[in-house]
Amino acid sequence: MNNRIRELRGERGWSQGDLADKLDVSRQTINAIETGKYDPSLPLAFRIARLLRLPIESIFQPEKD
């Protein structure tokens, strides 16, 4: 799954640590999501969308076949 978290985080001037604190996860988890090494669970994806005030499908997109 592809995501725009790094870009959206950058627009808001947040560090990985800031975003991790806001979502109550570790900085390594944010790094793993941003680099595409880990796909978050649905509850975490919804928390990210709520925090960024964007629809979930504008943050996460399935990979093209």
Using rule CB under 8 A, residue 46 touches another protein:
no
The CA angle 19-23-28, to the nearest 5 degrees, is 60
Using rule CB under 8 A, residue 57 touches another protein:
no
Q: Give DSSP secondary structure letters for 20-48.
A: HHHHTS-HHHHHHHHTTS-PPPHHHHHHH
CB of 51 to another protein, least distance (A): 15
Q: Which is nearer to another protein, 35 or 61 (CB)?
A: 35
State both tokens at 7. 């870009």
* Of the candidate residues 4, 14, 22, 31, the single one contacting another protein (CB under 8 A): 31
State both tokens at 20. 């991790």
Point out which residues bind another protein (CB under 8 A).
Answer: 17, 24-29, 31-32, 35, 37-38, 40-41, 44
